[in-house]
Structure 1
Amino acid sequence: MTGERRLGRPRSQATRAAILAAALAELDERGYAALTIDGIARRAGCGKQTIYRWWSSKADVVLESLLERAETAIQLPDEGSLPDDLMAFLKATFAQRGQRPTLIGLMAQALLDPAFAAEFKEKFLFKRRDALRVLLDRAVARGEIAAGTDVELLIDIVYGVLWYRFILEHAPLDDELGERLTALLIKASR
């Protein structure tokens, strides 16, 4: 929707912020499955029609609220070396493991709704990949990653492990995993 202008009143930034904050609060209290537009509207102090005017579904509201949270919660580290950058990035990423039910809900919605899937990939999944790519590209420029290394595959390894553990919960997403994953990526990139 970038560049498109919707008809009607422009968004009130205060109302938008209240809706996004309400969505996060509802998510924290109730979880994604029990989240409703009605509950978000009640908590935000606005009407459901206001939410539906700006977002087409609860998944869209949740996605936008998570994007804002990710902007502040997961900063792009610049520690001066690939191992330190990766550890800082993975530690911040894995610290968001409390968002598991929400992310699983959004992934499920993406599997059911092709339009939402395109938005979820573009706005969330690809944006997170881009952040990791910046770290890896920086390491290539510093000579820490061998020329010709498949950076996209390294990114797939990180997010493949993340999503696999998110979905199955067979093993933890913790600092120890961050250390092991960092060591694996360093070894694979030389």
Structure 2
Amino acid sequence: MTDNPRPHTGRRRNEAARRAILDAALRLIADSEGGPVTAQAIAREAGVGKQTLYRWWSSKGAVLLDALTDHADQAAPAPDTGTLHEDLRAFIAAVFAGGRHPTTAPALRALAREAGNDPSLAQLMATFTEERRALLRDVLTRGVERGELRADQDLDLMVDQVYGVFWYRFLLGHAPLNDTVADSLADSLVGATRRA
């Protein structure tokens, strides 16, 4: 918890306060061990008033979704290197690295575990995963537009393959999520489309 409350910023969103709130939300989820994380706890951890959260977000769930999305967007943005293979390799490697991040990994595990018992968290996870899927689909769509994938390629199945590997290994922990695996998965996806 921060000892120095941040200055009052009124209705205008202060980026330092926003960043503190998002970081606090992820830390608290990661440390919660399945317990509820309240808006009051997030505000206290961030050194802001609870009213600041509700001025900028409609609910605690909106704060958590923004925190996850913000971190994922920074850690794994949609690359545009000019080739599908390099875009896939970079995106998959960044997603896998996010799954190893010391704050994000426990937060994702806690949310995935609790989503089965909490409909609002289940909706939060559904929204978050759909946003991440859309980014990867955009990468694949650019591959179609450049002629690197067939127009009739099942892009949703390709997205499922990437995130299927991620979530299976992330949740079960039976095999690594590293750059070598990211490279192999990108090779496999691009190679399969060339053979088809």
TM-score relative to the length of structure 2: 0.77
- Correspondences of 1:156-167 after superposition (within 5 Å): 156-167=160-171
| In structure 2, C-alpha distance between the alignment counterparts of 1:44 and 1:134, rounded to whole Å | 34
What are the Cα deviations for residues 9-39 of structure 1, in whole angstroms up to 9, with x where unaligned?
A: x8552354432232234456x3654674354
Q: 1:154 to 1:187 in 2, by over 3 A?
A: same
Q: 1:125 is matched by which residue type in structure 2? A: T
Deviant stretches of 4+, over 6 Å: none
C-alpha RMSD of the superposition: 2.6
Q: Which of 37, 44, 47 is the equivalent residue of 2:46?
A: 44
Say whether the 8 Å CA contact 1:31–1:101 is kept in structure 2: no
Q: What is the letter of the counterpart of residue 108 of structure 2?
A: L
Using the size of structure 1 for normalisation, the TM-score is: 0.79
Look up the match of 2:123: 118
On the 8 A contact 1:104/1:167 being kept in 2, the answer is yes
2:148 counterpart residue number: 144
- Give the deviation of 1:105 after TM superposition: 1.6
How big is the shift at 1:95? 1.2
Residue in 2 aligned with 1:4? none
Structure 1 gaps, min length 5: 1-9
Residue 62 (structure 1) aligns with:
64
* 1:131 positional shift: 0.8
Pairs within 5 Å for 1:13-52? 13-14=13-14, 15-26=17-28, 30=31, 33=34, 36-37=37-38, 38-48=40-50, 51=53
Distance between the aligned counterparts of 2:29 and 2:119, measured in 1? Answer: 23
Which secondary structure does the structure 2 equivalent of 1:189 belong to? Answer: helix
Deviations 1:91-112 (A, max 9, x none): 1111112222211222223222
Q: Distance in 2 between matches of 1:79 and 1:39?
A: 41
Query: What secondary structure sits across from 1:75 in the alignment?
Result: coil
Q: Specify the alignment match of 1:87 in structure 2.
A: 89
Structure 1 position 74 matched with structure 2 position 76: yes
Q: 1:42 offset after TM fit, Å?
A: 2.3
Describe how 1:99-114 pairs up with structure 2 within 5 A.
Answer: 99-114=104-119
Equivalent residue letter for 2:47: G
Give the conservation status (yes or no) of the 8 Å contact 1:60–1:116: no
Query: Displacement, 1:43?
Result: 2.1
Distance (whole Å) between structure 1 residues aligned to residue 89 and residue 33 of structure 2: 29
The alignment partner of 1:64 has SS state of: helix
Once the two structures are superposed, the pairs formed by residues 162-177 of structure 1 within 5 Å of their partners are 162-177=166-181
Residue 180 in structure 1 maps to residue 172 in structure 2: no
Q: What is the aligned length?
A: 178
